[in-house]
Chain A
């Protein structure tokens, strides 16, 4: 999964990921552990601005 630059660092995606594969880094960038990701698409739906893609 990838994140668009226009991400607003709100953390919504990290809270809903069932695999706990998303964290906000120290400089508030969204970091997705693609090894843990199961491509369920939940983060894509949850993002208020549609900033996650890669399904």
Chain B
């Protein structure tokens, strides 16, 4: 047997799985099809400080571009709700460096890493697996006990092993973002969110600061109409003076599946982690933290499976049960709020904005950027429901 586990995809989910599994003493191989881990970036790069701390990820200037203290959330009428704390609660990362460092931490813990190595298929053999890999023109196989599909939205491990992880068009957001410089940011310490059907139908526009005058300016839509996310973003930028004059120095394109987690994430010898299991938050589109948390759980269950030599679906369900316990309720709550929000007209959103501004929630203890919207008081949900 070449490895206890082969992990496909060196995004945050895969690298965290590899790091934890190696720390637990397993023989680990992490493969990534890209020549350079972390490139190209497919992310707005915003995340919560608390989450990274919980995961034991060091505060390293190499991949933390900026700290933020809260959010401005704009309703369609342009009025905003300010949720700002005294102390920083969020990071805007340099994802290309973050992903690379996570892989580096995994390697330091003992995992083998092969980049420019493309997983082409999986064969079952006597209760184990053979993974077919391609490195430049060389095609070869490695054997392992468990494979982890941390292969993101384009992932094929699910397809090969009968785990359904495709997303409905109506549940996929289509996103484009520019990294921009030379912006006159009113408050470079907050992340800005813009809601509205005309701005970003089924999604939102964001301005995540990465410096005094640098920010990720992006937008996601539910792509059921005629215009692309690209066209919406260009219109959004040209309608805001403080963005219009900025210079675009980079571009990010990607999809975020907001359907909620997949119904089944394990089968014999196989686990799916991160975007491949749709662990991403359906309301905010934040997926890094969940991918890493679930990756950590996956590694622990793989350790137990190797110890007991039990690689059956039945045993691996432990992973599914544990991740559902950890993030499942949050994901389902987000899904619910998202389903309510997407039914609202711009006028109704304006009313909600007004209601919330009246509640003065500015001092609420909101620590996690990716979960902050969910921590709104229960009256909020009731109020929204009364509008429908």
Q: In the complex the two chains form, is A10's CB within 8 Å of B224's CB?
A: no
Q: Which of A8, A15, A26, A47 contacts B33 (CB 8 A)?
A: A26
Set of chain A residues within 8 Å of B257, measured between Cβ atoms: 15
Set of chain B residues within 8 Å of A23, measured between Cβ atoms: 154, 156
Instruction: Return the CB mask of A4-42 against B: 1 if under 8 Å, else 0.
Output: 000011111011111010011110100000000000001
Most B CB within 10 A of own CB, among A28, A46, A50 = A46
Q: In the complex the two chains form, is A15's CB within 8 Å of B230's CB?
A: no
Q: In the complex the two chains form, is A49's CB within 8 Å of B176's CB?
A: yes
Give A48 Cβ to nearest chain B Cβ, in Å. Answer: 4
Q: In the complex the two chains form, is B167's CB within 8 Å of A16's CB?
A: yes
Q: In the complex the two chains form, is A15's CB within 8 Å of B172's CB?
A: yes
Number of interface residues of A (CB under 8 A): 23
Instruction: Return the CB mask of B140-182 against A: 1 if under 8 Å, else 0.
Output: 0000000000001110100100000111110010111000000
Give B181 Cβ to nearest chain A Cβ, in Å. Answer: 21
Answer whether residue B34 sits at the interface, using C-beta atoms and an 8 A cutoff.
yes
Task: Give CA–CA (A42, B40) in the complex, Å.
Answer: 24
Most B CB within 10 A of own CB, among A12, A24, A50 = A12
Task: Give CA–CA (A45, B227) in the complex, Å.
Answer: 9
Number of interface residues of B (CB under 8 A): 31
Give B44 Cβ to nearest chain A Cβ, in Å. Answer: 13
Q: Which of B166, B228, B254 contacts A10 (CB 8 A)?
A: B254
Q: In the complex the two chains form, is A45's CB within 8 Å of B255's CB?
A: no
Give B319 Cβ to nearest chain A Cβ, in Å. Answer: 22
Give A21 Cβ to nearest chain B Cβ, in Å. Answer: 11
Also in contact, A11 and B223, with CB within 8 A (given A48-B175, A49-B253): no
Give B57 Cβ to nearest chain A Cβ, in Å. Answer: 25
Give A22 Cβ to nearest chain B Cβ, in Å. Answer: 9
Q: In the complex the two chains form, is B40's CB within 8 Å of A9's CB?
A: yes
Set of chain A residues within 8 Å of B134, measured between Cβ atoms: 26
Give A35 Cβ to nearest chain B Cβ, in Å. Answer: 16
Q: In the complex the two chains form, is A15's CB within 8 Å of B255's CB?
A: yes
Q: In the complex the two chains form, is A12's CB within 8 Å of B255's CB?
A: yes
Set of chain A residues within 8 Å of B152, measured between Cβ atoms: 11
Answer whether residue B193 sits at the interface, using C-beta atoms and an 8 A cutoff.
no
Task: Give CA–CA (A8, B176) in the complex, Å.
Answer: 11
Q: In the complex the two chains form, is A17's CB within 8 Å of B166's CB?
A: yes
Q: Which of A8, A15, A20, A24 contacts B167 (CB 8 A)?
A: A15
Q: In the complex the two chains form, is B40's CB within 8 Å of A26's CB?
A: no
Task: Give CA–CA (A48, B40) in the complex, Å.
Answer: 15
Q: In the complex the two chains form, is A11's CB within 8 Å of B230's CB?
A: no
Set of chain B residues within 8 Å of A49, measured between Cβ atoms: 176, 228-230, 253
Q: In the complex the two chains form, is B40's CB within 8 Å of A12's CB?
A: no
Task: Give CA–CA (A18, B11) in the complex, Å.
Answer: 25
Set of chain B residues within 8 Å of A11, measured between Cβ atoms: 152-154, 254-255
Answer whether residue B42 sits at the interface, using C-beta atoms and an 8 A cutoff.
yes
Q: Which of B156, B165, B166, B253 contacts A8 (CB 8 A)?
A: B253
Task: Give CA–CA (A10, B43) in the complex, Å.
Answer: 11
Answer whether residue B118 sits at the interface, using C-beta atoms and an 8 A cutoff.
yes
Measuring CB to CB, which residues of chain B are less than 8 angstroms from any residue of chain A?
Answer: 33-34, 40, 42, 118, 120, 134, 152-154, 156, 159, 165-169, 172, 174-176, 223-224, 228-230, 251, 253-255, 257
A16-B255, A46-B174, A47-B223 known, 9 other contacts, Cβ within 8 Å: A8-B253, A9-B40, A10-B154, A10-B254, A14-B153, A14-B154, A15-B255, A24-B33, A49-B253
**Can you spell out 19 A-B residue pairs with CB atoms less than 8 angstroms apart?**
A8-B251, A10-B42, A11-B152, A11-B154, A11-B254, A12-B174, A12-B253, A15-B172, A16-B167, A16-B255, A23-B156, A25-B118, A26-B118, A46-B169, A46-B172, A47-B174, A48-B175, A49-B176, A50-B228
User: Which 5 pairs from chain A and chain B are nearest by CB?
Assistant: A11-B154, A12-B255, A26-B118, A8-B253, A48-B229
